Amino acid sequence: MSKICAICGKGPAAGRTIKRRGLAKKKGGVGQKITGVNPRRFLPNLQTVRAIVDGTPMRIRVCVKCLKAGKVTKAV
């Protein structure tokens, strides 16, 4: 199953984690140095819900932003 919202199409976004070493200048140190950068993925908050799609109830994966906005009509 792909990690994509069925309503808005929101999917994973790429980013980085940054490792730092040292004490910040604000705290009396000489400053922080970057010692490593690793790739990471920001995944959307997807939930599986029973929703009405084209008049029939189906299970779809929807992001929470679409659920809160009321873009999904849930099946009873």
Whole-structure pTM value:
0.76
Confidence of residue 29 (pLDDT cuts 50, 70, 90): very high
Residue 76 pLDDT > 90, yes or no? no
| For residues 24-32, average pLDDT | 97
Residue 25, SS3? Answer: helix
Residues 6+ apart with CB under 8 A from 14: 39, 40, 41, 42
Residues 6+ apart with CB under 8 A from 36: 18, 19
| CA 44 from centroid of its chain's CA atoms | 3
How is 5-17 classified by DSSP, letter by letter? -TTT----EEEEE
Query: Distance (Å, rounded) from C-alpha 67 to C-alpha 24?
Result: 41
Reported as a single tens digit per residue, the pLDDT across 42-74 is 999 999 999 999 999 999 999 999 999 999 999
